[in-house]
Chain A
Amino acid sequence: KQEVTQIPAALSVPEGENLVLNCSFTDSAIYNLQWFRQDPGKGLTSLLLIQSSQREQTSGRLNASLDKSSGRSTLYIAASQPGDSATYLCAVNSSYKLIFGSGTRLLVRP
């Protein structure tokens, strides 16, 4: 059974810092991995999708990496801003459905 873990559960950083969010999964037989952002009381916004054959994806200040063999992904946020404050979720697609981690709650302090 696929299990997804995210650490840390919460993170508070000053504005401008670079930071890394971690995601690990137990079954390396995945099709893809997707990172989402969730603002309080809102739905999920897709940030990056990494196919199983890819090592990383970049979008603006965000960079996600995938090491399928070790069951790990990281989301790197460069030059963090207060507007980046949200919960970040990673989800693994092992067949047709996404299995989610419990998220990292990020606060970027001005």
Chain B
Amino acid sequence: GAGVSQSPSNKVTEKGKDVELRCDPISGHTALYWYRQSLGQGLEFLIYFQGNSAPDKSGLPSDRFSAERTGGSVSTLTIQRTQQEDSAVYLCASSSAGQVNTEAFFGQGTRLTVV
């Protein structure tokens, strides 16, 4: 596609349920990032993928959070047993293969509300 695509755009879930958020990066981009933006807060790094591997998962807040990437393309962020503090906008970004000087492009985000 022309840009980074995220789905769903909005998700309302009940506390305790599991959710999956999807990110489809720009074609050919091997670097993929997940960030979280809570209400009134800055962007918080969650995880970084290079290809299918995740060399840095240091930003995942707890073991309820996990992410995978298959085929060097689509990534899924899974939150198990959701809590109200998980409510936030989850943003995905991608950039070109392995070059640290390249530009990152963001999707429109998934707004997660846990009720």
Contacts and interface: CB of A to CB of B under 8 A. Distances in A.
A44 B106 contact: yes
A87 B48 CA distance: 24
Given A96-B48, A96-B56, A99-B45, A31 B101 contact: yes
A101 B33 contact: no
Interface string B88-114: 000101000000110111111101000
B43 interface: yes
Contacts of B100: 31-32, 93, 95-96
Nearest to A4: B42
Contact of A49 (B31, B93, B103, B109): B103
Contacts of B91: 43-44
Contact of B108 (A34, A42, A52): A42
Nearest to A103: B42
Q: Is the interface of B mostly helix, strand, loop or mixed?
A: strand
B87 interface: no
Nearest to B108: A43
B101 A36 contact: no
A98 B56 CA distance: 13
Nearest to A44: B106
A97 B56 contact: yes
B75 interface: no
A46 B103 contact: yes
Interface of A: 31-32, 34, 36, 41-46, 49, 51-52, 89, 91, 93, 95-103
16 contacts: A34-B103, A34-B104, A36-B106, A43-B4, A43-B6, A43-B107, A43-B109, A46-B104, A51-B101, A91-B43, A91-B104, A95-B100, A98-B104, A100-B43, A102-B42, A103-B42
Interface of B: 4, 6, 31, 33, 35, 41-43, 45, 48, 50, 55-56, 91, 93, 100-101, 103-109, 111
